[in-house]
Structure 1
Amino acid sequence: MKRWLLNIAAALLALLFVFPLVWMLLVSLKPDGATVYSLSDWVDWSGLNADNYMKVIRDSQILRWTWNSVVIGFLTTIIAVLFSSLAAFSFSKLPFKTRGIFFVLIASGLLIPTEAILIPLYETALHLKLIDNIWAIILPGLTNPIGILLLKQFMDGVPRDYLEAAQIDGSRSFGLWWRVCLPLTRSAMISVGIFYFILSWNNFLWPYLSITSAENMILSAGLPTFLSNNTMSLNLIMAASAIAAIPTILVFVLLQRHIVQGVSMSGVKG
């Protein structure tokens, strides 16, 4: 009986989260000016069409913005996860005298809000001639220390016996990371990678300041500009929002198994 109650509660919570997405999709497919506020609007599917999506694509550069966001998101994710894994391996498995000091310094990065470093960050990007360049968004995105902190916890769960066996076989530090820690923390790395991708996808303030041309904008910075010019059309707003939500939904649907494994496991059990 208790299991049935938990299942019902989980289903209700799922419906609660899915409801806004379904509403957004229905509004985006309705003719311009139509709403979905009553039950009759929900069940009336006679006028559904993709005209709003075509208008959004025609009147804006949303496909280019989406492509820029995808490229920046994947590059940021791959590089950040790689560097975070190497750093986490060093802090977890390699003894060196200043390990505690450097770990505290990296962890303290979580205490510094992005808004506090915008001016020096902009001056640095301007000096390096990175303004209006995708690397102006990618490089600052690599400095988030959360990946190092999370992956270190997973690296701590890798038994020392595995590393000693690999050392007997002739593996050095890089080989220990590549052959032992990397395979055993794959689920954790995927989970951290999803976090980095979503963080990059939703990044707004710094891309809005560092990108000056419309063709180089990412979706989170370009979409508000389009929405501000179409505040009277809820259908167009929902169509643009649906396009923006599709990539993150796909990432979650395709990789949800790894997200669950990354949360429930700590690499291996020692």
Structure 2
Amino acid sequence: MNKWALNIIATVLAVLFVFPLIWMLLVSLKPDGTNVYAMSDWVHFADLTFSNYKKVITGSEILRWTWNSTVIGVITTLLSILLSSLAAYSFSKMPFKSKGFLFVLITSGLLIPTEAILIPLYETTLHLNLIDNKWAIILPGLTNPIGILLLKQFMDGVPKDYIEAAQIDGSGTFRIWWNICLPLTKSAMVSVGIFFLILSWNNFLWPYLTITSEENMILSAGLPTFLSNNNMSLNMIMTASGIAAIPTILVFAILQRHIVQGVAMSGVKG
């Protein structure tokens, strides 16, 4: 297959992926109650307006929910990267007994669905008086073993000569992790961080169970409440969905270079 054919296929696939976003944007800019089921209504741009966005912002707590999601996502991402990188460094560069068993034990957590631990997790949260608290969402989000698994693979590629040279110079374990392993795995950490951020942003079931007040809701849990009250207005639904999609689109647009670098480096062996 020649290059032109590959470019055509890639363009068609890109259009198919982008089309729902364009449709969502056009529907959200149509006046509330406008028929948007016919193709001719989509391409009629004379009646585009931002009034729906004003209604959604002023008639709901969507900005507060977005702020709560941002705060929780950033804190969860930073703490997850910190803990995952420390654990990955210990499994990759530090010899200790039962290292293989503990690594298999931790990564086996990927086989356990979240739904299977909801009841004990909720009871623990209830006993800690964390119900309707942002930390009830943040703390369980720090236990995802995928970060340890991915970062360990990258830290395995850090040359042992760097570690031994630093040890000869008198560097301790923490300093080696901070000054050598972290800079050399920066692209991987950014990629893992984006994964954690999107995972936290799209988390629905657990926040829906633990957050009881509208003030502390995050976007993924608060948005269905708003949509259920506007189930007859497709324009308002698409407007709210568009506002919810903006932050994630911006994150991917700004950090897409790091994602590509992380994927490219995953095949490099140290």
Q: TM-score, structure 1 length as denominator?
A: 0.97
How many angstroms does 1:38 deviate by?
3.5
Structure 2 regions of 5+ residues with no counterpart? none
Separation (CA, whole Å) in 2 of partners of 1:144 and 1:226: 30
Confirm or deny: 8 A CA contact 2:25 2:242 kept in the other structure: yes
- Deviation track 1:76-103 (CA, whole Å, cap 9, x = no partner) reads 0000011001100100010101211211
Identify the residue that residue 158 of structure 2 maps to in structure 1: 158
Structure 1 regions of 5+ residues with no counterpart? none
Confirm or deny: 8 A CA contact 1:188 1:267 kept in the other structure: no
Confirm or deny: 8 A CA contact 1:72 1:137 kept in the other structure: yes
Q: Which moved more, 1:153-162 or 1:38-47?
A: 38-47
Identify the residue that residue 72 of structure 1 maps to in structure 2: 72
Confirm or deny: 8 A CA contact 1:184 1:268 kept in the other structure: no
Answering whether residue 167 of structure 2 is matched by residue 167 of structure 1, we say yes
State the one-letter code of the partner of 1:26. Answer: L
Separation (CA, whole Å) in 1 of partners of 2:269 and 2:206: 40
Count the aligned residue pairs: 270
Separation (CA, whole Å) in 1 of partners of 2:35 and 2:117: 43
How many angstroms does 1:40 deviate by?
2.4
1:1-20 → structure 2 map (5 Å cutoff) = 2-20=2-20
State the one-letter code of the partner of 1:213. Answer: S
What is the root-mean-square deviation of aligned Cα atoms in Å? 1.3
Q: Which moved more, 1:164-173 or 1:183-192?
A: 164-173
Identify the residue that residue 40 of structure 1 maps to in structure 2: 40
State the one-letter code of the partner of 1:118. Answer: L
Identify the residue that residue 82 of structure 2 maps to in structure 1: 82
Identify the residue that residue 136 of structure 1 maps to in structure 2: 136
Identify the residue that residue 28 of structure 2 maps to in structure 1: 28
Separation (CA, whole Å) in 2 of partners of 1:11 and 1:78: 36
How many angstroms does 1:108 deviate by?
1.2
Identify the residue that residue 116 of structure 1 maps to in structure 2: 116
Confirm or deny: 8 A CA contact 1:60 1:226 kept in the other structure: yes
Identify the residue that residue 232 of structure 1 maps to in structure 2: 232
Confirm or deny: 8 A CA contact 2:27 2:42 kept in the other structure: no
Q: Secondary structure at the match of 1:157?
A: coil
State the one-letter code of the partner of 1:148. Answer: I
Note closer, same or farther for the CA distance 1:267–1:182 as it changes in structure 2 (3 Å cut).
Answer: farther
**Which 4+ stretches in 1 moved above 3 angstroms?**
35-39, 266-270
Q: TM-score, structure 2 length as denominator?
A: 0.97
Identify the residue that residue 55 of structure 1 maps to in structure 2: 55
State the one-letter code of the partner of 1:192. Answer: V
